[in-house]
Structure 1
Amino acid sequence: MGQRTQSATGCLAALAGLGLGLAVWMELADGRVRRFEASPDWRLIYLALPACLIGGIAVGTLGGLLLNRLLRPRRQGPPDPG
């Protein structure tokens, strides 16, 4: 793989992780952001949202790194001089 392909794969993996983190946060926050006759739960926005987004980006980045390691051709040793 070329450098551009590796860079694009890493960026796409990080974006996919960001989307995954946002989807997890949406599932956690289902109905808890604005409750009936209660104040909003600000911990969801100030603590859970950044944790889910950062965690999702980390998982996506590690997945992209693993994908690059698996798809990259293995280098062979230097040729014999003799």
Structure 2
Amino acid sequence: MTDSTELNRLFWHSRRGMLELDVLLVPFVKEVYPTLSAEDQARYRKLLSCEDQDMFGWFMQRGEPEDADLRYIVKMILDRVQPD
């Protein structure tokens, strides 16, 4: 279980100032992050250390991360918002 201080910190780190990223990351950290396994939580924290422009390209599907952990969490976030 993630404590409220950690969730609050992640919420603010998820706010990137780029609308396209904010609409994906903020709801994800609020609604999904607390239910993730420790490994997936670590992947999300790793994603937050990436550059905004890199994340933008990944989420707009103009490329994908070389790192397998980052590919996994990007796909998880995209699968949540894309229709089947």
Larger proportion of helix: 2
**TM norm structure 2:** 0.33
Greater RCO, CA 8 A, separation 6+: 1
Structure with larger Rg = 1
